[in-house]
Structure 1
Amino acid sequence: MPKTYSINGVQLKTNYLKLFYNPKLKQRARTFRKARNLPEVLFWVRVNKGQFYGLDFDRQKIVGNYIVDFYCKSLGLIVEIDGSSHLGREEEDAVREAWLSDQGCRIIRFTTVLILEHMDQVIEELEDFVLENYT
């Protein structure tokens, strides 16, 4: 029997996706995981090991030809944390997001400033997003 998840008593619908994986990105993803980006580490501390309603998140996950910041396999959910490296890359990010959406993924984005200054708000927004998209 598949595992079930709920938030505040509301059962979530899982969305396991079969996604293409580019093994050539494996070393790059590993390097990103070791980089210890502070906003990513702070978010990871809040969602690691099922701390967010039992859901399992992976860091720097390869999805197709992209590496996403966080991926929740049971929901097909991508969490992106946007910092200064995304400035001037809006068009590239839009193409990337469109491809990921076409694969069935849902994407939520947070800024590094929001993560650093209002982590509780980030967790609340993530909770709301999951409830809106997976019930």
Structure 2
Amino acid sequence: MDATANARRLRRSQTLAEKTLWTLVRNRRLGGFRFLRQVSIDRYFADFVCEAGKLIVELDGATHEGREDYDENRTRVLELFGYVVLRFPNERVMADPGGIAEDILAVLRSDRV
């Protein structure tokens, strides 16, 4: 399966946490920053990407338990492409979506952008 088809499949099968975050960031709703979903970078698909801010937001659910080494390596690779990677557990997205949005915006508005 090619990268575009795989990205489409991932977008169609979003988790509830991904749908919640997408509602917050889509159509430049978060500080005017444009986000894309399931972007192919190197050999990985990043959950949410803001190219202007060189920011990747990753949501971690149950499938990430026990895969900390894999996730750390993945983060290192994405950082080599110049991105800052933020990780949030699905549970936090569902419990505090406004807080997540504030955390993302704080990084986007920081001096590192």
Q: Given the two structures, how large is their TM-score scaled by the length of structure 1?
A: 0.78
Moved more, 32-41 or 123-132: 123-132
- The structure having more radius of gyration, on CA atoms, is 1
Indicate whether 1:25 and 2:9 are aligned.
no
Distance in 1 separating the partners of 2:5 and 2:38: 11
Residues 133/41 of structure 1: CA separation in 2 closer, same or farther (3 Å cut):
farther
Q: Which of structures 1 and 2 has the larger relative contact order (alpha carbons within 8 angstroms, sep 6+)?
A: 1
Residue in structure 2 matched with residue 127 of structure 1 by the alignment: 105
**Structure 1, gaps ≥5 residues long:** 1-22
Kindly report which structure 2 residues correspond to 1:1-40, keeping only aligned pairs within 5 A, or say none.
24-40=2-18
SS at match of 2:85: strand
Report the TM-score, using the length of structure 2 for normalisation: 0.92
Matched, 1:95 2:73: yes
Structure 2 Cα separation of the partners of residues 86 and 49 of structure 1: 28
Q: Cα offset for 1:133?
A: 4.9
CA distance in 2, matches of 1:127, 1:55: 9
* Runs of 4+ deviating beyond 4 Å: none
Number of equivalent positions: 113
In the alignment, which residue of structure 1 is the partner of 2:31?
53
Q: Which amino acid aligns with 1:99?
A: V
SS of match in other structure, 2:70: helix
